[in-house]
């Protein structure tokens, strides 16, 4: 069982663990003496914490910098004890340590009482999803083993915990330095009685192993779709770890957000016989009856169970760890399960000081170590579960400048204007008749991947001329390419469009939806499709992408006008460009996207 030990700096976390190891004879021979000798050599008093603080910087400064893992065995079971740093500077390391744990020991100094990080760490444990917390009131020797001091801290902290919906398993008075109630019951605190263990050791053994969520709806975030052709292996295996629930051969699965559906054909395993059922915790792999095109990042769910939510606008609670504040509007990457999408904070609903739980007035940015509730907008809709339904699939991290800078949980989806289109696309995908020919086979035949090239810009910038030149050039080079003029749609599939919408925005949305549907058919056939459109916005593009099931889309902007800030074209060119000089640029863009290949 993984246990994390947290609490305010200098409240004695490492000392308690060091003492526990020493008193249970869990240290390698000579380790205790070696550390004692080293202390004597450097003329500093011996502390049990030195047994854990392995880094030279840590011993020099006498603090824990990074979470260490200590392997420990009681008569009941094996433990990994994660010693987390208590200094505020190292909150990110505390979170790293705590997230690996199932249960926690939270240490409070009896003499100093409840401090800032006692509260902050309590709050972080709740947010990280650790529900079993035992509170150790340490350094009882400094308060003469006084019962009243212990009870005062217990009452104060119990009240704080109830404010964040947490109940501590137990409160235990200890002294790490003197060894009271660590591995054996102390005679000095005979006033202390408890059903939940009278020593740290008993408290640890009393923690209950949390069962894997086998009974919950099935969820498997797809890590990859493997087709290794070496040695004639023809299997196309969907691989991932089961987050919750169970799945049996023959079950129908739906992938979200695409809504694609198929039936489980086999479970695959390298060594040993393949199972007929997979369940929460299994690192699994399965094949499907139909040749559907699935990519990393989708979540597999089982037909007939609670469906995951799909949305691009979310209400979340998050914590921020970077020096640079998280400002409204700034772009970062949002990672959830196995998918990563660009995102930005749209609105900060409230920020909370995690050390006092005071809600501050609404700020325009989230500072380091703040906890906040906010609305986040994603470039692309994702599948998830609200945190009250399932913790695992509600957890995300924020990545900025190559690093994880924060994390949080999704509370709920914010209703957005794309919801209807998304539902319609999912219905379409579920009813889709799959070809026996896999998209990869088409890609091999045509020596290209299906992709949409959108040429956009203000009026009279030479969009159509460029589209024609590009089509011709790619065709000449043997590509399966098609330029779809908007006129081809307006009086065809759009002929009845006026009957559908009332206002211009609605009409435009319906037009784009239909355009995306027609595009999707041609792209499913394996084509490179070229479309021109006037003044596409980021919202327009998002809507088109929803209809395309993740098929790559590249945007070329023509002219000097500034495009909508959310459009972010892949290529910007002058108006009326010279085809001979810009077509190679577009080709390069397609090569980089892996659509066509360098010869």
**Is 212 among the residues that bind other proteins (CB under 8 A)?**
yes
Q: Which of residues 66, 494, 524, 539 is near other proteins by CB under 8 A?
A: 66
User: How many residues make contact with other proteins (CB under 8 A)?
Assistant: 58
User: Using CB under 8 A, which of the segments 27-35, 248-256, 354-362, 532-540 binds other proteins?
Assistant: 27-35
Helix H or strand E encompassing 6: strand 2-7
* 3 state DSSP class of 132: strand
Binding mask 238-267 for other proteins (x = CB under 8 A): -xxx--------------------------
DSSP letter at 28 equals: P
Q: Does residue 40 touch other proteins according to CB under 8 A?
A: no
> Which region, judged by CB under 8 A, interacts with other proteins, from 63-71, 369-377, 452-460, 568-576?
63-71
Q: Please, which residues have CB within 8 angstroms of residue 85's CB and are 6 or more apart in sequence?
A: 9, 63, 64, 65, 66, 67, 93, 94, 97
Q: Where are the alpha helices (DSSP H) in 525-572?
A: 538-547
> Is there a contact between 314 and 376 (Cβ–Cβ < 8 Å)?
yes
Q: How far is the CB of 566 from other proteins (least distance, A)?
A: 22
Alpha helices, DSSP H, located in 100-145: 116-128
Neighbour tally for 357: CB within 10 Å: 15
Site of tokens 């340490």: 138
Whether the CB-CB separation of 399 and 349 falls below 8 Å is answered with: no
86 near other proteins, judged by CB under 8 A: no
Q: Classify residue 526 as exposed, middle or buried by CB count within 10 Å of its CB (0-12, 13-18, 19+).
A: middle
Please tell me whether residue 54 binds other proteins under the rule CB under 8 A: yes
Q: How far is the CB of 456 from other proteins (least distance, A)?
A: 30
**Span near other proteins by CB under 8 A; candidates 90-98, 381-389, 502-510, 536-544:** 90-98
> Is residue 451 within 8 Å of residue 554, measured between CB atoms?
yes
CA distance 562 to 199: 68
224 lies in the site for other proteins, by CB under 8 A? yes
Instruction: Find where tokens 């196995």 sit.
Output: 338
Contact map string, positions 400 to 429, toward other proteins, x by CB under 8 A: --xxx--x----------------------
C-beta closer to other proteins: residue 126 or 397:
397
Minimum distance of other proteins from residue 337's CB (angstroms): 9
Q: Are 480 and 469 in contact (CB under 8 A)?
A: no
**3-state SS, residue 512:** helix
93: contact with other proteins by CB under 8 A: yes
Nearer to other proteins, 100 or 265 (CB): 100
d(CA 3, CA 26): 16
Among 28, 45, 165, 487, binds other proteins (CB under 8 A): 28
In the bound state with other proteins, the residue whose beta carbon lies nearer, of 274 and 388, is 274
226 touches other proteins by CB under 8 A: yes
CB of residue 403 to other proteins, shortest distance in Å: 5
Burial (CB < 10 A; 0-12, 13-18, 19+), residue 337, is buried
Give yes or no for residue 126 binding other proteins (CB under 8 A): no
Backbone angles phi, psi at 419, to 5 degrees: -55, -45
Smallest separation (angstroms) from other proteins to the CB of 385: 14
Kindly state whether residue 574 participates in binding other proteins, applying the rule CB under 8 A: no
Contacts (Cβ under 8 Å, ≥6 apart) of 73: 26, 79
For 468-485, b/e burial (b = at least 16 CB within 10 A) is ebbbebbeeeebbbbbbe
Q: Please, what is the minimum distance in Å from the beta carbon of residue 285 to other proteins?
A: 6
Helices and strands (H and E) in the chain: how many: 14, 29
List 152, 188, 196, 235, residue binding other proteins (CB under 8 A): 235
Q: Does 276 bind other proteins (CB under 8 A)?
A: no
Q: Does 271 bind other proteins (CB under 8 A)?
A: yes
Out of 9, 65, 142, 486, point to the residue binding other proteins (CB under 8 A).
Answer: 65
Q: Which is nearer to other proteins, 51 or 454 (CB)?
A: 51
- For other proteins, the closer of residues 239 and 493 by Cβ is 239
Pairing between β-strand 481-484 and β-strand 528-534 as defined by DSSP bridges:
parallel
**CA–CA separation, 559 vs 62, rounded Å?**
62
Binding site for other proteins (CB under 8 A): 28-30, 54-57, 65-71, 78, 80, 92-93, 95-96, 98-100, 128, 212, 223-224, 226, 228, 230-231, 233, 235, 237, 239-241, 268-271, 281-283, 285, 296, 321, 333, 335, 338, 395-397, 399, 402-404, 407
């Amino acid at each position: 069982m993984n246990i994390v030990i947290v609490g305010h700096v200098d409240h004695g976390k490492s000392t308690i663990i060091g003492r526990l190891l020493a008193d249970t004879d869990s240290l390698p021979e000579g380790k205790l003496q070696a550390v004692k000798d080293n202390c004597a050599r450097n003329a500093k008093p011996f502390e049990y914490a030195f047994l854990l603080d392995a880094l030279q910087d840590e011993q020099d400064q006498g603090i824990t910098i990074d979470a260490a893992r200590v392997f420990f065995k009681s008569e009941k079971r094996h433990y990994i004890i994660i010693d987390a740093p208590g200094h505020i500077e190292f909150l990110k390391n505390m979170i790293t340590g705590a997230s690996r744990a199932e249960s926690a020991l939270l240490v409070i100094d009896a003499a100093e009482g409840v401090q800032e990080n006692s509260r902050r760490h309590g709050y972080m444990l709740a947010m990280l999803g650790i529900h079993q917390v035992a509170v150790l009131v340490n350094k009882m020797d400094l308060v003469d083993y006084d019962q009243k001091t212990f009870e005062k801290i217990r009452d104060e902290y119990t009240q704080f915990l109830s404010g964040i919906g947490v109940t501590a398993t137990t409160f235990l008075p200890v002294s790490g330095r003197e060894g009271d109630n660590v591995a054996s019951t102390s005679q000095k605190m005979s006033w202390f009685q408890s059903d939940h263990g009278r020593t740290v050791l008993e408290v640890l053994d009393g923690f209950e192993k949390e069962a894997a969520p086998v009974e919950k709806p099935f969820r498997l975030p797809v890590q990859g779709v493997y087709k290794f052709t070496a040695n004639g292996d023809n299997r196309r295996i969907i691989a991932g770890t089961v987050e919750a629930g169970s799945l049996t051969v023959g079950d129908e699965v739906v992938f979200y957000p695409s809504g694609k559906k198929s039936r489980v054909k086999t479970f695959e395993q390298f060594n040993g016989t393949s199972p007929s059922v997979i369940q929460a915790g299994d690192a699994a792999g399965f094949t499907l009856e139909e040749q559907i095109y699935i990519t990393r990042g989708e979540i597999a769910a089982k037909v007939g169970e609670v469906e995951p939510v799909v949305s691009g606008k979310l209400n979340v609670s998050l914590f921020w760890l970077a020096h640079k504040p998280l400002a409204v509007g700034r772009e970062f990457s949002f990672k959830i399960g196995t998918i990563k999408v660009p995102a930005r904070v749209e609105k900060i609903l409230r920020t909370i000081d995690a050390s006092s739980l005071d809600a501050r007035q609404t700020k325009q940015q989230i500072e380091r170590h703040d906890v906040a509730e906010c609305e986040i907008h994603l470039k692309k809709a994702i599948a998830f579960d609200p945190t009250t339904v399932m913790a695992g699939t509600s957890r995300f991290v924020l990545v900025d400048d190559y690093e994880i800078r924060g994390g949080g949980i999704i509370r709920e989806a914010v209703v957005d204007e794309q919801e209807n289109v998304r539902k319609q696309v999912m219905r379409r995908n579920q009813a889709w008749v799959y070809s026996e020919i896999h998209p990869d086979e088409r890609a091999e035949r045509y020596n290209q991947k299906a992709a949409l090239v959108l040429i956009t810009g203000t009026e009279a910038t030479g969009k159509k001329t460029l589209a024609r030149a590009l089509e011709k050039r790619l065709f000449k080079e043997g590509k399966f390419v098609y330029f779809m003029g908007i006129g081809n749609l307006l009086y065809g599939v759009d002929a009845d469009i006026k009957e559908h919408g009332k206002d211009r925005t609605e009409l435009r949305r319906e037009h784009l939806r239909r355009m995306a549907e027609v595009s999707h058919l041609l792209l499913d056939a394996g084509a490179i499709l070229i479309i021109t459109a006037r003044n596409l916005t980021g919202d327009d593009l998002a809507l088109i992408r929803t209809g395309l099931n993740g098929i790559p889309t590249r945007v070329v902007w023509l002219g000097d006008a500034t495009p909508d800030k959310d459009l972010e074209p892949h290529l910007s060119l002058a108006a009326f460009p010279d085809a001979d000089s810009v077509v190679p640029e577009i080709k390069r863009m397609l090569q980089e996207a892996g659509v066509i290949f360098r010869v």
